[in-house]
Structure 1
């Protein structure tokens, strides 16, 4: 049976991170630790960030690997890291929600569209940042089908 794309183990609430690199490494490590990606995928996430920022606006960043990192993905999954105090992503951008993505094949496109729908609503962003349980975050993403 395939893994859940988002489970409680993939969510970290109330996290403090010093900088963008630490934030990306932390987000990627969740995917590694839970069996979604090979450890080398995290380096590809950092490489992607060098090419173009994964900051999406509205306090959200979506770190993910480069195109050539696909062979490092074992299962499609996402990690969600909440940083209530924010982490500096450069250019004056502060990130409070990090969503790490690992997509097997073309799965990342479906996952990205679901995330985009959830995060297009300002109230969802506030709800996610203020969440006190992993279940609250999972239920917000489950509302989108």
Structure 2
């Protein structure tokens, strides 16, 4: 199973706050079978401890360390938020929900952070006109 699929990508999302963004990103992981519903609460809990805003307009909410045992398979969900959403004083335009088995989360975090640190790649992601186009940018960037 691909860690990213069309069903886990939402373009032009409007959310009122980071909790709504995290819940939506988490629900996509639940719907895809990567995690049970209680993992979403652990994502909210994790955000309360320390912001998952990474920089360059990217936030990557994920569960607490205790929630690792809930993860059934590695998956990623992507929300493109054109108007941005406040993550502890920083504005995220790209919210990536993450559930990763074992140490895979570090590899994924590194790949995604590297991808969005390239301003042109981040612009391509934010301006993607379809889920397929966005997935292609990620596949290209993360498998480089």
TM beyond 0.5: yes
Q: In the TM superposition, what is the alpha-carbon distance from 1:52 to its structure 2 partner?
A: 0.6
User: What secondary structure does 1:16 align onto?
Assistant: coil
Matched, 1:19 2:4: no
Cα RMSD of the aligned pairs, angstroms, is: 1.0
Matched, 1:99 2:96: yes
Unaligned runs of 5+ in 1: none
Unaligned runs of 5+ in 2: none
User: What secondary structure does 1:101 align onto?
Assistant: strand
TM-superposition CA deviations, 1:10-38 (whole Å, max 9, x none) = 10001100001111101100000110101
Instruction: Give 2:73's aligned residue.
Output: 75
Matched, 1:85 2:83: yes
Instruction: Give 2:113's aligned residue.
Output: 116
Give the whole-Å Cα distance in 2 for the aligned partners of 1:84 and 1:68: 32
Aligned length: 142
Q: Hey, which bits of structure 1, 4+ residues long, moved more than 4 A?
A: none
TM-score by length of 1: 0.94
